[in-house]
Amino acid sequence: MDASTPPANAGKFRDPAITADGQPRATVPLSRPETLWFNTGTLCNITCANCYIESSPLNDRLVYITEAEMRDFLDQLETRRWPVREIGFTGGEPFMNPEMIAMARTALERGFEVLILTNAMRPMMRPHVQRGLADLAATWRDSLTLRISLDHWSQQYHDAERGEGAFARTLEGMAWLRDTGLRMTVAGRSTWGETDAEARAGYRRLYAEHGFLIDADDPAQTVIFPEMDESVEVPEITTACWDILGKSPDDVMCASSRMVVKRRGAARPAVLSCTLLPYAPEFEMGETLTEAESDVALNHPHCAKFCVLGGASCSG
């Protein structure tokens, strides 16, 4: 970029109430709480080329959350009467956390559905973790889902993102989950210039080849995420955008979820309004679910590109 060229989104996303051109910024209320996420810690067994949370074997900016800390938030859900149906676990790699199985068990015992995001590699394949997962499946098979990070249906592109041999190790983990009878879904990425149909066709062939009972055409079972690139110019979302786009604040992720994290050095966990912005201080809402009931200002490029627009435009 030429030194005279202003950076993408220069002057935007600064005021939580007003956009750069003086219009009222859109906000989202917690209108239908469905999922409470727990970030289990940012440590991961691999370092990806483009990880939105910068997970790695060395990044412990978010430290391991404990089963006791998680249980406190489940108690708060009951007290606040949030109609949450699902507890989600993300990382880092959740199976790096030594209390991952215990946390899943507690959530399942409380009657929640549980979703664990994993790369299905070595941390998940340790014998004691395998025993724990098999034990959970024996009782709660229909309430437990593992979403596997499979960036692309081909070894070439997946390994370009996650390192040589990653594709084979993930498929090994998926085969174990298949044979153990655990429910799987997949999360891919739309980085490589494919159409959605081309990507789903590739995943469909892969699933058929390996006998994975995953629907490539169901967006809930094969999620293909857009890249979260803050260098891309995106419009700010104003209150007028809802009518222009034909969308509702209820469609946005922060209408239905919150995420609990524990920062390195913090005495207690904190609640964030967005799973995608773990390091942005303006999206930290407090230490309790009561504080996390306030509205969220869509004051970040991810709010526009990833959550609201999906290829649409407010220019109407």
Q: Give the CATH number for residue 118.
A: 3.20.20.70
24-58 confidence digits (pLDDT tens)? 999 999 999 999 999 999 999 999 988 889 999 99
Please report, in tens digits, the pLDDT of each residue of the chain (316 residues total).
444 445 677 889 999 999 999 999 999 999 999 999 999 999 999 999 888 899 999 999 999 999 999 999 999 999 999 999 999 999 999 999 999 999 999 999 999 999 999 999 999 999 999 999 999 999 999 999 999 999 999 999 999 999 999 999 999 999 999 999 999 999 999 888 899 999 999 999 999 999 999 999 999 999 998 776 666 788 899 999 999 999 999 999 999 999 999 999 999 999 999 998 999 889 999 999 999 999 999 999 888 888 887 643 343 3
Angle between helices 127-140 and 166-180 (to 10 degrees): 40
pLDDT of residue 312: 37
Closest CA to 103 of 277, 260, 271: 260
Closest CA to 261 of 79, 124, 90: 90
Residue 287 lies in a domain: yes
Residue 24 lies in a domain: no
- Give bridge partners of residue 147 from the DSSP assignment: 117, 185
- Looking up tokens 């024996």 gives 138
Residue 26 lies in a domain: no
Residue 314 lies in a domain: no
Residue 288 lies in a domain: yes
How far is 310 from 245, CA to CA, in rounded Å?
A: 11
Domain interval for residue 153:
31-307
Number of domains in the chain: 1
Residue 13 lies in a domain: no
Residue 316 lies in a domain: no
Residue 159 lies in a domain: yes
